Amino acid sequence: MKKISPLKRFFIIIFLLMFYPLFIAIISILLRYSFFILIIITLIILFLIIRAIYKRKQKIKLFNLLNKNNSSTDEMIQIYSSISDELLIELTIKEELKKINFNNNRYLKSVMKKKVIVTIIFSLINFLFLASIFFHFPSYKYILEIINIIIYIIFMKKFNNISAIKKEIEARPTENMSYIISSMVTGNTVHYNGSIINIFIIAISCILPIFIFFNPHILYEKVDGGYYVRFYTAGITNYETVTIPETYKNEKVIGIRGNVFKDMIFLKEVNLPDTIEIIRGSAFKNCQSLVQIELPPLIKEIKGNTFEGCSSLERIEIPEGVTRIGGHAFYGCSSLSEVIIPKTLEEIGSSAFRKCNSLYNITIPRKTQVNQRSFKESPTQISYFNDNTWDNTNVNNSSVGEYTLYLNRKLRINSEINLMLTKFDDTTHDEKIFVGMSGTIKIITKNNTYYFDFQTSTPQIYKYNFEGYTLEIKSGMNDHIKVRLS
């Protein structure tokens, strides 16, 4: 088996490290369409194997023939007739090259030139692709790089000494083959290994984007009244925290364009200046690690898809003055358990809080128009406030007054009551078993703070009365319990 040189081995390791998002994308695509892709890949592999076996058998036959001095004329005719003209010419060229001691470490200048040109084109595309990673393109677009690599491999295999000589022979059919090969090789070859040059060019295309985007960059767009943030490139030094300055070129930063932080899967915290007046749609879409963000006080609307797919976001406070929450604004925010709504809110769009699995309660103005799909597939109970008068309506028609408390997460019931599970111990780890739970629930009201130390073993303490309310433990498991407030 041919050994891989240390230089090539080093390059392969660097290549794998650089292209880890590409491999993640491939894995995600395979998982999504695994059955169909598996069939396609299997068929391609079978085709390549059969083709390789067929070609290998042809070559073995011909080599055996060439090395067999006592072959009969009939055997010669039979073997030659079974081999394609293309393969026959290829093997003849190899024999001629052996005669003049032309080894594999030498390249025709024309071949070397083509290989370098192809490598430069590939490297330019590769540079653009790697740069796009810092612009946090969605992972499925990485399939373009796969196509780029496949095309590069095809062309690099296509441009070789044998192919170049074969092409010249076909262009000069009346001349002697040995003479053509000798004339092409003499004074028209390079004696250095061209693969080192190609590896160097590709390595530059991989290293240069890292050097350029080593630190985060903010790209601005000039508008009336100041600047918008147009693009944000995630740097290697800091890809978890984003801080936008108040000014740029002595003018205010007043807006954020759509998709600016989209698909930044490692982003955890965003700090925005109070000068921001507008945040366009999908600005933080699919920021799966985003936990904390404080919205600027001057914005008037949460645009559609702004926080869609932010599965780690636990709490959001909508500032006073916001009149509308657009469609899909918080779609799929599965960890979102607390949303503070302003009294100025007038409309909640379609699927705005859809699939918010932890949002059990939300309080909105009575005047707010709620789309019938705003809380679809969410266990959310809506409370309306109007002059200190409360009216509870459950969106999904679940039992009124039942809530799920998660460990160390505050749940706002209404303006008067907040609940928090501060301690919890579950010995059974089975939600169907009531006995074996213990812990503490912190109850915060306008007038006082209470601590309910419950335990469901014998003797059972699972009810607590305060200020005319009764809090009852219903079930629990691991890090959460279900309670009923009546």
pLDDT digits (tens, 9 = 90+) for 316-329: 999 999 999 999 99
Burial class (CB in 10 A: 0-12, 13-18, 19+), 334: middle
Strand order in the sheet with 361-365: 361-365, 381-386, 389-394
What average pLDDT does this structure show over 211-216?
A: 88
pLDDT at position 24 over 60: no
Crossing angle (nearest 10°) for helices 194-212 and 109-134: 20
pLDDT digits 0-9 by tens, 218-266: 999 999 999 999 999 888 888 889 999 999 999 999 999 999 999 888 8
Q: What is the pLDDT of residue 329?
A: 95
Crossing angle (nearest 10°) for helices 161-171 and 109-134: 130
What average pLDDT does this structure show over 203-228?
A: 90
pLDDT digits 0-9 by tens, 364-399: 988 899 998 999 898 888 888 753 433 444 444 333
pLDDT at position 118 over 60: yes
Q: What is the pLDDT of residue 431?
A: 66
| Top mean-pLDDT range of 8-12, 130-134, 282-286, 438-442 | 282-286
Q: What is the pLDDT of residue 79?
A: 53
Task: Name which of 235, 304, 299 is nearest 272 in CA terms.
Answer: 299
* Low-confidence winner among 101-105, 110-114, 226-230, 245-249 (lowest mean pLDDT): 101-105
In the predicted model, what is the mean pLDDT of the chain? 78
Q: What is the pLDDT of residue 390?
A: 39
Q: What is the pLDDT of residue 149?
A: 84
Higher-confidence position of 309 and 390: 309
Residue pair 385/366 in contact (Cβ under 8 Å)? The answer is: yes
Q: What is the pLDDT of residue 5?
A: 54
pLDDT digits 0-9 by tens, 174-198: 877 777 777 777 766 655 556 778 8
pLDDT at position 214 over 90: no
Q: What is the pLDDT of residue 191?
A: 55
pLDDT at position 294 over 70: yes
Residue 472: strand pairing partners = 463, 484
pLDDT digits 0-9 by tens, 26-41: 555 555 555 566 677 6
Q: What is the pLDDT of residue 398?
A: 34
- Provide the 10 A C-beta neighbour count for residue 342: 14
Residue pair 124/223 in contact (Cβ under 8 Å)? The answer is: no
Q: What is the pLDDT of residue 67?
A: 56
Residue 247 tokens read as: 């000014």
- 410 contact partners, CB below 8 Å, separation of at least 6: 338, 418, 419, 420
Q: What is the pLDDT of residue 183?
A: 75
pLDDT at position 402 over 80: no
- The pTM assigned to this predicted structure is 0.58
Task: Name which of 484, 465, 486 is nearest 475 in CA terms.
Answer: 484
